[in-house]
Structure 1
Amino acid sequence: MKFGYHEDCLEHTTGYRHPESPDRLRAIRQSLAKKHGVEYVAADPASKAAVDAVHTDDYVEDIKAFCADGGGNWDADTVAVEATWDAALAAAGQAIWAGERALAGDDGRQTPFAIGRPPGHHAVADDAMGFCFINNAAVAARHAIDQGAAARVAIFDWDVHHGNGIQDIFYDDDDVFYTSIHEQGLYPGTGKVDETGEDEGEGRTMNLPLPAGSGDAEYLTAIDELIAPELRAFDPDLVLVSAGFDAHRHDPISRMSVSTEGYGAMTDRFRDISDEIGAGLGFVLEGGYGLDTLAESVSMVHEVFDGREPMEPDDEPKDRAIAVLDDVRDQGFGEK
């Protein structure tokens, strides 16, 4: 794979014991150093126009000034320093790069994966939250559409937390389809089954809040039975995966049970779906806070594009998860 990476993203420091630290990128890079065919690209930072396309002017000016003054705690969880704004622009620029390269036809071993930080999927149009300042995947999706490179973009968010920011930004748009599998009841408390979009965006948001303990079988069933049919019907030009790895069974801040092989199987599914519908495919890093499991899981995504065939789960999805999927079907999603 090609990995979007910029040293500026290491300068966003969050303090002792904060889970979203520069060590996340260092661990990923150390793991990838052992792999074949890894290439790094330092894309340009996101432009003001690209950021303004998804965030309000007042918010952008406020957070820039906050960082310029030395930063601090924007909220209880979201910490900034002077270098944070440049790091956020660099991370958003990597996401734009991933979308552009996917639309240009980079696939197979050239598939793009933006490993910027801070992450983005919790940042709403007018506020930072949940470790996030600029909504990287949203910036990439809107940039692709505004530049005329894509008419429709789909975003699949497999981070354990619901991407409330992506949902917020595109909730009434008909050109972006957002779908998320996340742990039921976890921060930030959004992402319920009946949150499906509004106005022109009705039916363009699909949430799958699975119960704690869900793992490979539940995630793959959700993809096969609900997400894949919706993507075929939506027929996007670009598919972006908001790739957080904190649903891993050994991540310290969640109660889900996805395995490293499970991330490989999900990657394989999305490669096949994107090929089938003729869409570009790119990945944008979100969460993942166990350094070993984060590094192993990103490496697994890379290995799938380098020829590895991930193992399928032996178990069947649990009844509690099946009940959630049935609730999603009741909203009109699934086989067309």
Structure 2
Amino acid sequence: MKFGYSEVCLDHDTGVRHPESPDRLRAIRRGLAKQHGVSYIEADPASEATVRAVHDDDYIDRVKQFCADGGGEWDPDTIAVEATWDAALESAGLAEWSARAALNGEDGRNTPFSIGRPPGHHAVYDNAMGFCFINNAAVAAQAALDSGDASRVAIFDWDVHHGNGTQDIFYDRGDVHYSSFHEAGLYPGTGEVEEVGEGDGKGMTLNAPLPSGSGDAEYAGAFEQLLVPALTEFEPDLLLVSAGFDAHEHDPISRMRVSTEGYGVLTDRVRTLASDLDAALGFVLEGGYGLDTLAESITMVHEVFDGREPVEPEGDASERAQLIIDQAVKAHGLGEK
């Protein structure tokens, strides 16, 4: 794979005890150092105009000044230093590169994956939260639409936390489909099945709040029963994966049970779906806070694109998870057309 990376993203220093630290990127680089076919691209930072296309002007002015004044605690979880503003623009620029490279035909072993930080999917239209200042996937999606390279963009978020920011930005839009598989009841407390979009965006938001303890079989079941029919109907030109790895069974801040092999299965299914839909495919890093498991999981994504065939999970989704999947199928009328 081609990985978008910049040393600038290491300058966003959240402190020694913060889970979203520069060590995440260092761990990823160490894990990928042993792999064949890895290359790195340093993209231009996102322009302020591109960022303001998905965020409120006053908010962007405030966070920019906050960083210029030395940063601090935006909220108890979301920490900034002076260098955070440049890191956030770089992270958004890397996500924009991932979308642009995918639309320019980079696929197969050259599939783009941006590994910037800070992450983005909790950043709503007019506020920072949950470690996020700029919504990287939203910037990438909007830039693809504004350039005319795509008329419909799908964002699939497999981070363990609901991407409330991405949902917020596109909730009333008909040209962006947002899907999230996340742990029910976890931060930020959004992402219920009934949240399906409004106005032109009605039906364009699909949430599967899976119960704690869900693992490979539950995610595979939700993928086949929800994402495949929803995106087949939507017909996106571009599919972006908001790729957080904190649903891993050994991640320190979640109670989900996705294995490293399970991320390989998800990767293989995303790749197959994008191919079936003739959609460009790019990845954007979100969460993942166990350094070893984060590195192992991203290495697994790379290995799948390098020819590895992941082992399919045994068994079906649990009854509790299947109930949620069935509710989402009904809420979206999937399979009725």
TM-score where L is the length of structure 2:
0.99
In structure 1, runs of 5+ residues without a counterpart are none
Conservation of the 8 A alpha-carbon contact between 2:195 and 2:207:
yes
Aligned equivalents of 1:35, 1:3: Cα separation in 2: 13
Query: In structure 2, what is the equivalent of residue 319 of structure 1?
Result: 319
Conservation of the 8 A alpha-carbon contact between 1:210 and 1:324:
yes
Aligned equivalents of 1:78, 1:332: Cα separation in 2: 34
Conservation of the 8 A alpha-carbon contact between 1:248 and 1:256:
yes
Is 1:224 paired with 2:204? no
Deviation sequence 1:160-212 (CA, Å, 0-9, x none): 00000000000000000000000000000000000000000000000000000
Is 1:272 paired with 2:290? no
Aligned equivalents of 2:29, 2:16: Cα separation in 1: 21
Query: In structure 1, what is the equivalent of residue 42 of structure 2?
Result: 42
Deviation at 1:316, TM superposition (A): 1.9
Deviation at 1:43, TM superposition (A): 0.3
Query: In structure 1, what is the equivalent of residue 212 of structure 2?
Result: 212
Aligned equivalents of 1:324, 1:55: Cα separation in 2: 32
Deviation sequence 1:35-82 (CA, Å, 0-9, x none): 000000000000111100000110000000000000000001000000
Is 1:68 paired with 2:73? no
Aligned equivalents of 2:148, 2:333: Cα separation in 1: 28
Query: In structure 2, what is the equivalent of residue 115 of structure 1?
Result: 115
Secondary structure at the counterpart of residue 332 of structure 2 = coil
Aligned equivalents of 2:291, 2:315: Cα separation in 1: 27
Question: Where in structure 2 are the equivalents of 1:253-272 lying within 5 Å?
Answer: 253-272=253-272
Query: In structure 2, what is the equivalent of residue 191 of structure 1?
Result: 191
In structure 2, runs of 5+ residues without a counterpart are none
Deviation at 1:334, TM superposition (A): 2.5
Query: In structure 2, what is the equivalent of residue 153 of structure 1?
Result: 153
Secondary structure at the counterpart of residue 165 of structure 2 = helix
Query: In structure 2, what is the equivalent of residue 99 of structure 1?
Result: 99
Is 1:16 paired with 2:16? yes
Q: Counterpart amino acid of 1:156? A: F
Conservation of the 8 A alpha-carbon contact between 2:5 and 2:116:
yes
Aligned equivalents of 1:310, 1:17: Cα separation in 2: 34
Aligned equivalents of 2:333, 2:282: Cα separation in 1: 24
Q: Counterpart amino acid of 2:68? A: A
Aligned equivalents of 2:141, 2:128: Cα separation in 1: 19
Aligned equivalents of 1:333, 1:303: Cα separation in 2: 36
Conservation of the 8 A alpha-carbon contact between 1:5 and 1:116:
yes
Secondary structure at the counterpart of residue 321 of structure 2 = helix
Secondary structure at the counterpart of residue 281 of structure 2 = strand
Aligned equivalents of 1:49, 1:64: Cα separation in 2: 13
The percentage of counterpart residues that share the same residue type is 68
Aligned equivalents of 1:94, 1:334: Cα separation in 2: 34
Deviation sequence 1:304-329 (CA, Å, 0-9, x none): 00000000011321000000011112
Q: Counterpart amino acid of 1:130? A: G
Secondary structure at the counterpart of residue 3 of structure 2 = strand
Deviation at 1:138, TM superposition (A): 0.2
